[in-house]
Structure formats: C-alpha cells, structure tokens
Structure 1
Amino acid sequence: MKLARSVTLALFAGASSIAVAQQVPPEKAFGQLESVRDMSLSPDGSKVAFVSPADGLRTILYTVDLASGTPQAALAADGKPSRISWCSWVSTQRLLCSIYAAQKASGYRVSLRKLVAVDADGKNQKMITERQSDAALYVAADGGGVIDWLPDQDGAVLIAREFVPEAKVGSLIEKRAEGLGVERVDTRTGKRELVESARLDASEYITDGHGNVRIMGVQKKTAEGYSKSTTVYYYRVPGSRDWKPLSSYDFLSRDGFNPVTVDRDKNVAYGFKKLSGRLALYTMSLDGSLAETLVLSNPEVDVDDLLRIGRDRHVVGASYATDHRVPVYFDTAVKPIAATLAKALPNLPQSEVIDSSLDGTKLVVHLGSDNDPGQYFLYDRGAKRLAKLMSDRPFLDNVKLATVKPVSFRASDGTMVPGYLTLPPASDGKKIPAIVMPHGGPEARDEWSFDWLAQYYANRGFAVLQPNFRGSTGYGDAWFQKNGYKSWRLAIGDVVDAGRWLVEQGIADPAKLAIVGWSYGGYAALQSNVVAPDLYKAVVAIAPVTDFATKVGASRDYSNFAIEQERFGSGAHFEEGSPAQNAGAFKAPVLMFHGDQDFNVDLQQSQMMDSRLAAAGKAHELVVFPGLDHQLADSDARSQMLGKSDAFLRTTLGIK
C-alpha cells in the first residue's frame, strides 16, 4: 500500500488564526482545542465535513471537496451560548447538525439541543427540530436525536424526540401526545412522518440500521417521578408491532443485559452483560427464543466497546483495554484493513474508523498514539491508498512529546494498582518534580493514549502518574467496589499510594510532588490532602466535587435526583469524604478552576471549597471562567489554566 500525497486540509483547520508554523508558548500549543471536533464522509466519498473551533467560543462547520481540497464554511455558531456539536452527511449535498446550548433560566440549568440541516455550500438551512407552539405545556430541552441514518433513503433520518402536549384556554386546539416517540424526517423539506407514537415511559429506541425500530427502553421511576438507574427493554420479532420483554439493565450496578444495537441480517441484539464480574459482549436472538451467545470476553478487564462502520453502523468487532486498547475484528472484510493500516503507519497504532462512504470503499480513519495527538486519513480500499487529511493538533506537530509507559504500583494493602507514567522527553526520571493525576468520573479509567494535560506538564519537566485507582471502571466489579464516592477511602488511598510510589522509586523529589485532577480527579486531589496532608505539596483542582451533600442536593429539582442519591449513598462518609468539610486539615496551597456554566459539577462546589479554605486560613485561589461548562472547551481559557497552574506549581514547589 502506498501513502498518497496528502490532501492539504490543515491550512483551513479553522482552529485558530495563528499559523501552525509560528512558535507559540507551551500553554498556547497544548491548550489549543483540537482542529477537528467531528468529521464525516459524504455517501459518495467525494467530500468531508468537519466541525472546528474558531476564535473565542465560535464553532464552524466546514465542507471540503476532496478533489480540489477547497474548504467552505457552511454553518457557524457564536458560542454565546450555542455551539455546533456534530454534523453528518444525510446525502451527497446535505448535512444534519446538532446545535447545543447550556444556560440557566429562572435559576434552573437547561441544556438545549436542536437539529439543523444545511447544504454543503451553506444554503437551504432548515430547522429539523419541531418548533414548539406557545400552547406547549412545557419546554422540550432535547430537540431530538438521530437513531437511524436510513442508508437506503437519501436525505431522510429517524429521530427520537420528546413530544409535549399542548392546550390553550378557550381553544379547541389540543395535542395530547406526550413522551418519547420516533419520526421519519425529510431533511430537505422538513416533512415528518410518525413511526413510533409517543410513550411517556419510553427512554430509548434502537433500530436495525435500516429504519425498523426493534428495541424500546423504559426507564423505571420512583413514586415521586424521579428516574431510577434501571431500564427495562422490550423487543419485536420481525414483522410484528408487539413488544415482548427482552432484558433489564442497571447502569450503576451494571447488572443485566444492556442492548446497544441490532444486526438486521443476523436478527440479534448486540449488548454487554457481566461474566464473572466483568463486562462481556453477547448477542441475544430476537426471533422469540432470546438465545444468548457469548461473543467476546476477557478474564482481566471489561469488554466495553463495539467497533462499527457504515451508515447503518453495523458491528465489525469489539475492543477492551488492558495496558493498551485491543481491537478484535469479527468482520473478515475489515480485519485486513486494520492490518494494512498498522503496517503502513506502525508509529500510529491507535486506529478508529470515523466514517465510510455508502458503498464502503472509502473510509475516514483516525490514527494516533501516546505521543501523537492523532491524524485523519482517507483510505481508499480499492486503490489501497492512504492520504493524510489533517492533524488533530497542528500546533504540536513540531513539539517533541513524551512517551507513556504502563506501570503498576503496590498499594498499602498489597494490591497492585495499574496506571500510566509519563516522563519528560529526554529525562532520566530521577528526583524530578512530579504530579499524580487521578482521572475523572469516577466511573471511568485512563488508557494508553495522547493526553494533552499530562503531555503539557511533561513538557514543563514534570513526571506524571495517572493511576487507575479502585473505583475505576474497566476492571470488573471487584475493582469498581461501590464506586469512588461510596468507597472513597479505598480510591483516595490508592491515589495517595501513587504519590508515595513515585517517591519510593526515586522518580519524584518528595519536596516537589504535586497532585492535579479534573472533576472527580479534582475531588481526589483535594481529598488526598485531607488524608495525607504532608505528601502533596501543591493541589490543582479543576471543576472538582467538594461536598457530597451539596452535590446530591443540587439535583433535587431534576429527574436524576434518585440516581444521584443512590450513587453517593448516605452516612458518615458524606462528611468524612468531603474536602469542603475538612478544610482545616489542608497544608498544601490550593488552586482551583471552574466554569460558571458547569452543569455537571456546579460552580457552587468550588466556591464552597474556596470559602472553607479562606475561613481556615489556608492558601487558596479560585479562577472562574465565565460562559464555560465542565470541559472548559475554549482555547484561551485552557491556555490560561495551563500557564497559571504551571506558574503556581513552580512557585509553590520552588522550581526555577
């Protein structure tokens, strides 16, 4: 296979107005958002489209004719508050985009999502989300989601959306439909056709990728109307409209069979179910027998991801993560492609098929590694030709990045805890400044891959250890325990032991050891200073949870209140495990960052921590970013955060 002349798309990445070749400070280079937020290939394989961040909070949809390489801005959002989340082709000339806006209204957090269709040249914009009338009894915040791209129907999609009843005093006009239903929508004309009537108890619909709704999920409710963590699934046999019981699944305990997609030809549902305490991939027959077949399992870790391609999103494999993510391909036509890509670009072992043409002959693939942020390629299966489209982070193209090494360390109870160690390029890793960086979630795990935050600190001379502490997902029930909140002592104990291991191994200078974390990782960074106040000499917490009771209470007026109650539990750990309730124990200075539009972890969490540290006479600072949410998805804000945190660490730790 030959690597073709690159299609020069990097010049119009839209990520910034600064030339890629221009030298910029490290915080600018690493803080810059990815040039591509989402990429899609047209059905005929002649064009790509991608969403890219622009100056400030703006996002822009670009379409590109691959023959000429000429870009065209087709849609833009100013970010105040609307931004483009993703765009995908629905025909050779038309795209469907999701527009997202997070804002507060009357004291309530509201996340609004709308669907908009537009031609490749930016013309014929049409709102696909149905407009609500003044007679609507309440606002449907979610304007609908695509559940089927209808590969056999040019320009049409199936959308699942909330139906809201309408009533007007003194008028005969009334709409009674309420709940989640499904419509077929023509994105050119906006014409709608009801496919599944609205059901108040429905929470999810799954199709076979060709327009047939085969599975429905019903989320259980409490007596007060709050959502529970359990979803009950129903299915249809071919040719029937009747619903039959399929399974139930609790996403907090991960008990039961969780269907993800339907294979029309095999007439089965693919889904995940535990085997010996770890998630495994199964199929369940939809012919009425509900026969289960084990497809893939691993005795050490969860099988947790499906590999799917094509407009019908058919399954071609699955994957799991040990030290590295391991793809396993079932499709005999796709498996050789993965081998070809691995042979052509051995330095980019992480591969993902992003999209494909309708006939499957052309693929957009993303390739990357631990020290390469990733690159987009167009692969022509017939010609066996690979052409580079653009880099994910062009500002780092000429920056030497660090390698990431899987490691394990012994916790205080003797358990071996896995993690990833990143050393500064060209460093011998001896007695150097070091950072422990626990991941967010806590229902998550770190993997071997490019991490812009860890790479930035490695670039600045820090060793970075990312522990997959107990409470992380991916390693089964015994490792997950009760989750990182209920089992906080075990999780934070592992995070503390990660720092001690760095010192014992001679990697970290004990006087220059810090901890940095985001979300739950920010919580872990703060709580580690409660548990072991003499270990970490500086704390950086980004959007942290700081008080359990306040976090749960903030959900009282929302549908997930019961889920948050179950997730956090109750008891003495509410006070003992909350850093805001233990500010007097802190010895290390604290620097926090938070967006004031964070709907995941409310700004109140950092404000409470800040006030408690002030009352206790501790060194502290809180930086608030107006208009930003949990991800702080703004290049300037991220650059500021990186630069300020680096200066804080250097001053606090005495690094020249």
Structure 2
Amino acid sequence: MLKQFILAACVCCTATPGYAASDAARKFGAREEVQQVSLSPDGKRFVALLSDAKRGVRALVFTIDGSAPPAALLASSGEKEQVDYCEWANSNRLICGVSVTTGRIRDMIGFDRLVTVGADGKDMKMLSVHDSFQALGIMQNGGHVIDWQGDPTGNSVLMTRQFVPTADTGTHISGAAEGMGVERVDPVTLRRQTIEKPRETAKEYIADGLGTVRIMGLRPTRGNGYSDGRTVYQYRKQGQTGWLPLSTVSGDSQTEHGFDPYAVDPTLDVAYGFDAQDGRNALFKVALDGSLKRELVFARPDVDLAGLIRIGRRHRVVGVSYVTDRRQVEFFDPELKKLGISLAKAMPERPLVQFVDASADESKLLLWTGSDVDPGEYMLFDKKTRHLDGLLRARPPLDGMTLAPVKAITFPAADGTPIPAYLTMPVGKPGSNLPAIVMPHGGPGARDEWGFDWLAQFFAARGYVVLQPNYRGSTGYGEGWFKENGFKSWRTAIGDVNDGGRWLVKQGIAAPSTLAIVGWSYGGYAALQSAVLDPALFKAIIAIAPVTDLDTLRHEHDDFQDYYLVDAFIGKGPHVREGSPAQNAAKITAPVLMFHGDMDQNVGISESRMMASRLRSAGKSVELIEFKGLSHQLDDSEARTAMLDRSDLFLREKMGIQ
C-alpha cells in the first residue's frame, strides 16, 4: 500500500503540461524523482526529497508501515533557493540544508543555512547562527553537521560554524573571532557550545562518531588571500586536546599527493584515508595513538579506489568501492559482505547495490538497487525478518520502458592504447550502419561507469548508438592515465575521443554520414575541440555548458581562493590558445548547437556566447539556447525536455536522419 501511494504521488510530479515535446523527451527529461532519502534512527520513518514538475524540491516524511499520510517538511521552488538535503537529528526531528543564490552571472553569491524541524513538519527553527548587523563580513557558509551523535545522550550534533568578526559603533571590534570552528548544538533548544575555537585557515574537521573532533584540516593562504594548494592535517590523541602533525596533501582534487583522511574509527583509534600506491589511489589507515603507524588497507593494481562505504549513525567505515568495468565493493564488515552477496543473488537483474542509510541499531538498512536498464529503486531490508520491501522508484516515468543494455568495451587509440568505453546499442535496430553519437564525459577529472545514464538512454531510445569513452585524462585509472589532465594534454584526450568515432565507423556500427558528438561541460569542450582536431569526422556537434576558452576559464576564478589551483591546472603555453575552441572557430565545419544556463557558476555562460559569436563571425552554422535562472546541471524538467527534443531534431535535420 505504501509503495503504491508513493508511486502515485510521484508520477504526477513529472507532468509538464503545455509543452509540445516528444514522449521520449518528456520521460527522459524529467528529473530524477528521488533526490535523497534518509532513514530515522528508530527505523520507523524515512524522509525523502522529491522533485516537482519543474525545478523545485519537496521534503516529505513517510511511515514505513504506511500508517499515516506523508508529512510535508519544507519545499523550494528551485528558482534561487533549494532544499539540498534532510537528515535525522533524532527519531522525531530533522536537520535540513538549504541554499540560496543571489546576484547575476559574475556577481552571483551563494549562501547555505541549516534549519531544524519536527518530523510532523512543525516547529521549524534556524539552526545556523543568525547574521549580525554588526558583522564585518559575509557569512556564506551556514555550517555542516560533522557528527550526528554530538554527546553520549544523542541529543545534540557537532556542526561547523563560520565565525565573522563584529564591531560596535564606530570602528571598535567587539568580536574578533574569525574562521571555521565547531559547536555542539541541541537541535531542539538551540543551545550551542563552542568546542573548537575558530581558525582562519581551518577548512575541515573530522569527528569520531561519538562527539569528539579528532582531525583538523588547515589550508594556508598566500599574502594575497589565495590558497597555496596545500591542506595541512593535524590530529589529537584520544582524551587529549593538543594538536599533532598528521599529513600534508598537495595538488588539486585529481592529482593529490599525501595521506588524505576521511574518517576516524574510535575503536581501532585510526584514521582512514587515501594516498597514492604504485601510481593509483589506495586506502590506508594511520594510527592516532602518537605512533602514526601506517597500514595499507586495500588497493587495486588496475584502477583507483573510488570512495569509502560508511553506514549507521556513526558513519562507521565498512568497506571501499572501486570501478573496473562496473562499480564493485570490498566489504570489511563480514555481515555486510555476506548480505551484499545474498542481495546480488536475489536480484540478478539489479546487480548494483548501495547501502544508503541504517537505523541506529543497524537492524534495518536502506538500500538503492539498479542496473544499466533500471534507473533504480530505494528499498528497506529488515535483518530480523530477512524481508526486502520497495519504497521509492527513482524514475517512475520510465517504468515499463525497454531500455538499452550497456556493454563495456575497449577500442584502440591511434597509438595502439586500448581505450575503455561503454557502448549502448538501440533496442530493436540492426547492429550496423546506424546513426551514432560519441559522448565524452565532463570533468575532465571524472569517468563514466556502467549503469543507467538518462542522456545516453534518451539517444538510444531515439535510435542512436552511443559510445562513452574514458579517454586519457579521465580519473579512475591511475596517474599515468590521467596524464597532465585533459586541458594540458588535450591532444591526447581529444585524440582518444575522435578515435572512438573512427572505431565506430571502422567496425561498421556507425554510418560515416550520421556520426555526431555530444558533450556536457568538459564533454562539451571535447565536442567542440574534436572538430578543431579533425573537422571532417563528426557531422553535427552538441555542446552543453561547454568550456570554450581556457584563458577565460582561468579568469573566471580571479576572485576566488582557488585561483592558483585553477591557474596551475590549466597551465601556460601554446596549448592554451591551440586547445581553446573559441580561438579556433574557423576550423570547425560541422553545425553546432549549444545549451547553457545563465546562472552557471561552474562554466560562465559568457564562454558559450563567445563561441557562438566567433562561429558566426567565421560564417559557421551555430545555435545557442540559453536557459534563464539555471545552473550548470540544467536541473529543470521542462528545460531538459526542451534540450532533448531540440537536440534530436537538430541531429536529424543536420544529418538527414528520418
């Protein structure tokens, strides 16, 4: 009964009345219904963030047994404010994160705050400290919960706080505290106690799940206020307050060096974290007893490790994930390892299983299961009864549709290097001479992996073959594969992307006259730059929120602390001009279609406007569609529907596809 009620409630949320789009565009363009799910500590209720028909979010609390109608907590329109997540402070109260963006384009400023609300949707309060009228600065960061069990009673949480100096009348400073600290806060009474004094360079605190902060990350800055690219970690021994050196991590997020701590196990008295091992990301644990004894926990000889698996109120570490041809998990917890194997056998059609949350005693587990042809379902497993119940479908509009299987393959690059990729063939079509799309992923510090992809599945449903290459410059395959990154080593990365298109043609899968390229973010950059490297290969180009000029991308970070990181990532030299599509627009011969949101803080819309202007000046075919009020992800069902519909029509028109 509960499942039927939820499905009925969610399906109505995806309707986009009045828009004359294809049925496939509407179904695949609808945002994922379930944005986030969390299970109450007593295991009797769960909160879900559900998408509305456009770009908003509603937070609802459901009872597991369906004994009561869902309670509405809060909602956001998605225009400039958004509900980001909701978690349980205790079995009767939740803490939700909300964010707001103000200003326009280069003057955009983002703020986030925490609110606390009863499970019945009543008694909402601001959990973040209120801004002071005497503040000498702006408090953009409203804090984040770092420990959900802030004291032995479980009636408080530990959360970070950004301290801003305040002044009395005139120029007298009444409060000089500045930087990030940690407070113990009661979400009911709002009583707060500072347990870690603010430090100007503090950027991260890691607690042990029992209410004690054990690790602090400091990010030194240069005299001009920019970050110098290092994070210095310190730790404290159990029962002590003094800080001791732990490690220093240098570089950007894709090429870090040094032990990077992520979690503390208070029972073992160790920190879990990642560091390089034979050129690949591996998991280590370091003793926090003063010895700093370091031990390798798990590593793979072929791929990087992807992330920790954590569970329960204490977020204890139970395993680690990695991706070969598909995502896999190495469990350290014997019970969960056995359960994971059992679930995979019980649901062979959904081999991807993720542990999302658990009750306080871990007797009930919240799971997500899915596959390449199944967008997934959230389910509840009861250890005592061994019963598995469905709760929420991730994408109800696609229920009943036959989706296209995804196959892991490799193709040879020009130098003979095997390039891993995923091939999606349209259902019910012959295996040769088909219209095809090469779809490079964004990043470039990212990778594609096996599973459901709404963009690839839409094009497969419309009859296109889709190839998603993990070109050199992708993460997940070690430092050697990452090269210098996809911008500095753009010729290698884009060469691999183009070789994927040539392979499709050589294999007879794709017709040379109907070979296109589609990409988002760096993938959009790759789509445009592919035509600079080989103008005759692709017959149509679609670029979504693309980087088009490397020097412009660099200067988009002029006013941010990460400027030197971005500057170093892009680098200096001839590759900046040679590797910028906007600087080489005259070489592009294929028609171009671009989409971009005017509130994009990842890649400014000015880059697409520049590209369109340069292409028009060179007499090329180009169309730029701008979405008002949308960010980098175009997280709006109507906008995505319009984008999919226009993309399909564009490809058919430009390549003569019936």
Structure 2-normalised TM-score?
0.97
Tell me which residue corresponds to 2:148.
149
Tell me which residue corresponds to 1:225.
225
Letter in 2 for 1:428: P
Deviation of 1:107 after TM superposition, in Å, equals 4.7
**Paired residue secondary structure (1:90):** strand
- Which stretch shows the higher mean deviation, 4-13 or 194-203? 4-13
Tell me which residue corresponds to 2:470.
468
Preserved contact between residue 50 and residue 61 of structure 1 (Cα < 8 Å):
yes
Deviation of 1:346 after TM superposition, in Å, equals 1.1
Deviation of 1:137 after TM superposition, in Å, equals 0.9
**Paired residue secondary structure (2:335):** coil
For 1:58 and 1:344, how far apart are their aligned partners in 2?
36
String of CA shifts for 1:185-225, please: whole Å, max 9, x gaps: 11112211101000001111011111110011111322321
Give the unaligned 5+ runs of structure 1: none
Give the unaligned 5+ runs of structure 2: none
**Paired residue secondary structure (1:573):** helix
Matched, 1:235 2:235: yes
Question: Which of these residues, 39, 43, 47, is aligned with residue 49 of structure 1?
Answer: 47
For 2:639 and 2:149, how far apart are their aligned partners in 1?
40
**Paired residue secondary structure (2:34):** coil
Deviation of 1:169 after TM superposition, in Å, equals 2.9
- Which stretch shows the higher mean deviation, 531-540 or 59-68? 59-68
Letter in 1 for 2:212: N
Tell me which residue corresponds to 2:453.
451
Letter in 2 for 1:129: S
For 1:631 and 1:622, how far apart are their aligned partners in 2?
16
Deviation of 1:155 after TM superposition, in Å, equals 4.3
For 1:515 and 1:462, how far apart are their aligned partners in 2?
11
For 1:131 and 1:233, how far apart are their aligned partners in 2?
30
Tell me which residue corresponds to 1:271.
273
For 1:15 and 1:539, how far apart are their aligned partners in 2?
34
For 2:518 and 2:76, how far apart are their aligned partners in 1?
32
Preserved contact between residue 7 and residue 389 of structure 1 (Cα < 8 Å):
no
String of CA shifts for 1:11-36, please: whole Å, max 9, x gaps: 2237716499xx97000000111111
Deviation of 1:426 after TM superposition, in Å, equals 2.2
> For 1:360-375, what aligned pairs fall within 5 Å after superposition?
360-375=362-377
**Paired residue secondary structure (1:220):** coil
**Paired residue secondary structure (1:609):** helix
Preserved contact between residue 280 and residue 304 of structure 1 (Cα < 8 Å):
no
String of CA shifts for 1:537-565, please: whole Å, max 9, x gaps: 00000000000111111111111111110
Closer, same or farther: CA 129–468 of 1 in aligned 2, 3 Å = same
Closer, same or farther: CA 340–19 of 1 in aligned 2, 3 Å = farther
Percent identity for Structure 1 against Structure 2: 47
Preserved contact between residue 419 and residue 466 of structure 1 (Cα < 8 Å):
yes
Letter in 1 for 2:163: F
> For 1:41-440, what aligned pairs fall within 5 Å after superposition?
41-68=39-66, 70-104=69-103, 107-150=106-149, 152-170=152-170, 174-252=174-252, 253-440=255-442
Closer, same or farther: CA 263–198 of 1 in aligned 2, 3 Å = same
Preserved contact between residue 7 and residue 387 of structure 1 (Cα < 8 Å):
no
For 2:171 and 2:588, how far apart are their aligned partners in 1?
64
> For 1:575-614, what aligned pairs fall within 5 Å after superposition?
575-614=577-616
For 1:173 and 1:573, how far apart are their aligned partners in 2?
49
Tell me which residue corresponds to 2:35.
37
For 2:269 and 2:447, how far apart are their aligned partners in 1?
33
Closer, same or farther: CA 293–606 of 1 in aligned 2, 3 Å = same
Deviation of 1:303 after TM superposition, in Å, equals 1.3
Letter in 2 for 1:120: A
For 1:149 and 1:7, how far apart are their aligned partners in 2?
32
String of CA shifts for 1:213-255, please: whole Å, max 9, x gaps: 0011111322321013221111111111111110111242221
Deviation of 1:161 after TM superposition, in Å, equals 2.1
For 2:24 and 2:199, how far apart are their aligned partners in 1?
52
Tell me which residue corresponds to 1:13.
10
Preserved contact between residue 11 and residue 397 of structure 2 (Cα < 8 Å):
no
How large is the Cα RMSD of the aligned pairs? 1.7
Tell me which residue corresponds to 1:28.
26
For 1:594 and 1:107, how far apart are their aligned partners in 2?
15
Letter in 2 for 1:157: V
Preserved contact between residue 358 and residue 364 of structure 2 (Cα < 8 Å):
yes
